[in-house]
Structure 1
Amino acid sequence: MTHIPINLASKLGTFHEHYKPRTVGQFNGHDLMLVKARGPFNWHVHEDTDDFFLVLSGRLRILLRDGEVSLGPGELYVVPRGVEHCPVADEEAHILLIEPQGTPNTGDPATAAARVLI
């Protein structure tokens, strides 16, 4: 077994698309994913799992039906399962997501981005 750390900045440099998460590792049945965000995503809900967001750079707003959460670098927020939300980045933001393996990023497998391991 090799012991190589994951360099998040290097991994982020391998893609440019927005809202197309890239899986960089696994942890106890969860995918560790990086995503570049810019503009609004779509309103969606995850009925069976919470949604974890950790901002690495930039700013991210998570719109909720009853308000919003604003995050900067080093801040995280967990959207509870069943809560409709819409991530918005007014300028490009880099985010670490942790989700159970196979969780569709839109909450719907029919519209979800395919998992890409980098």
Structure 2
Amino acid sequence: MVAKVNLAEAFAKIPEAWNPHVAGDINNFQIKLVKLEGKFDWHHHDIEDELFLVVAGRMKMGLRSGDVIVEPGEFIIVPRGVEHCPEALDGECHVVLLEPGSTLNTGNVETEKTRRTLARLDAR
């Protein structure tokens, strides 16, 4: 089935921050939507690169080499192995993630924010 996704409507279905939801699949990759509030945990991914596309709000991507501010309509790709710490600035931030379906949101660390099973927003 071919269907379009309205991002505003999809984000409205996500009840809480730091709880990514799957919005669709592309081969072995998933499009995940997540609301950010405050600061996440420092972590890295051994084998996966991650793309963070900011749709609403502002995000600071903490990197050991220096922080990067990502505005709405901008994205950042964090290569595998790079320690990072996303943080919402100025309240809630809506982010589209593009990453392999196997990617664990907290990477190499286990915290209360770890989500092993993600809810789906699509009818699949």
> With structure 2 as the length reference, what TM-score do the two structures score?
0.89
- Written as runs of structure 1 = structure 2, the 5 A alignment for 1:1-118 is 2-90=1-89, 91-108=91-108, 111=111, 112-113=114-115, 114-118=117-121
The count of aligned residue pairs is: 117
Q: Residue type of the partner of 2:10?
A: K
SS at match of 1:40: coil
Gaps of 5+ in 1: none
List 4+ stretches of structure 1 deviating above 4 A.
Answer: none
- Counterpart code for 1:82: G
Q: Which runs of 5+ in 2 are unaligned?
A: none
How far, CA to CA, are the matches of 2:46 and 2:109 in structure 1?
12
> How large is the Cα RMSD of the aligned pairs?
1.3
Cα distance between partner residues in 1 of 2:57 and 2:3? 27
Percent identity reads 41
The letter for the 2-side match of 1:100 is: P
TM-score of the superposed pair, with normalisation by structure 1: 0.93
